[in-house]
Amino acid sequence: MNRILIKALWLITLSVSAIMAVEGVEIFPVMDKKIYREGHVSITLRLEDRNISRLMIVTDKNEAYPVVLSKECDNVCSTTFKLHPGENTIRVRGYVGERLAYEEKNDLFFVSPSHKGAKIPPAHFQEQFFHTDENEKMCSKCHDMSINEEKGVAFIDAEDSNCYGCHKHIIDEKYAHAPALNWLCTGCHSTQGTRLAGESKFRTAKPIASICFSCHDKSKQIWDAKKYRHLPVDSGQCTRCHNPHAASNAMFNHESAVSLCLGCHGDKKFSSAIRGDSKCPGEERGSCVQCHNPHASDAKFFLDDPHKRGAGKAAVR
């Protein structure tokens, strides 16, 4: 080996060990190999090495989120960052002065029901819940972890909700769903019933439709009376298409209607001339929902007059 190469190797070893040597930051809740269904994730860091003067979250798209180290936080610091659909690698970096003294890599998976490659997480990713008694204890010194919502009574000032401080980003989208916008979270995240060890305090019914229909009861009545019902609707998987909290698309759809439909009916991309097997023009003549009802219809293939759709407004409660 020539001397320059040896020197280069030595330098690499030295710099790696310099980064690894300082065990300075604890991350919780544990997020490595965790499955997420919302794009906004919060991370809380405890500084064990008080020499660290600057903390940074860096995503694989090279977006950097600084973590504010304030006295108030007493070396427990949080920040929120955004995921992209599918696998994400985020790095937590701690600096002593300008020197990178700590780095930890975490792999996360953001499930997006309509993105190819982001629908189903690989087997090494796991569901992990935060709201267990044990985890909450770590926060309750500074955060009120109790539920302070009254059934059906909207918060006039969102900040008054005990959930707001940590979850404020959940409605940071163009369209927000009324119950989430009013911080009535526990209508859908019930704390009732017995819990398995490690299970979240805030669970959701599976499938979720029964909860949706507790307010959208008119829709249920209308759809139940239809001759044909779309399978994902009939099996109660409303959140395959709708985000229950907020989204950048109208009706809180995860994607535009066309992308949603094509996420499961990929073959509809091609023109009928190419396929020759169906009279469906696919996306060639406008959005799928101009011709197809996404939920139910008396006409085969859910073809109806969209103007007659009117599933009815949700009961406001």
Site for ligand HEC in 127-186 (CB under 6 A): 129-131, 138-139, 141-143, 145, 147, 162-163, 165-167, 170, 177-180, 183, 185-186
Find the part of the chain contacting ligand HEC (CB under 6 A) among 9-17, 84-92, 95-103, 251-259.
Answer: 251-259
Q: What angle do CA 234, 235, 239 make, to 5 degrees?
A: 100
* Sign of the torsion angle spanned by Cα atoms 129, 135, 140, 141: negative
* Cβ–Cβ < 8 Å for 84, 99: no
Q: How far is the CB of 13 from ligand HEC (least distance, A)?
A: 35
Residue 207, preceding bond cis, omega within 30 degrees? yes
- By CB under 6 A, the residues from 78 to 97 that bind ligand HEC are 78-80
Q: Identity (one letter) of the amino acid at 145? A: M
* Sign of the torsion angle spanned by Cα atoms 284, 288, 289, 291: positive
Q: Which CB sits closer to ligand HEC, 101 or 185?
A: 185
Q: Which CB sits closer to ligand HEC, 19 or 264?
A: 264
Distance between CA atoms of residues 267 and 23, nearest Å:
51
Using CB under 6 A as the binding rule, whether residue 297 contacts ligand HEC is answered as no
Q: How far is the CB of 305 from ligand HEC (least distance, A)?
A: 12
Total residues contacting ligand HEC by CB under 6 A comes to 102
* Cβ–Cβ < 8 Å for 111, 118: yes
Query: Which of 290, 298, 299, 305 contacts ligand HEC by CB under 6 A?
Result: 290
Q: How far is the CB of 292 from ligand HEC (least distance, A)?
A: 4
- 94 burial level (CB within 10 Å; 0-12, 13-18, 19+): buried
Using CB under 6 A as the binding rule, whether residue 42 contacts ligand HEC is answered as yes
Using CB under 6 A as the binding rule, whether residue 56 contacts ligand HEC is answered as no
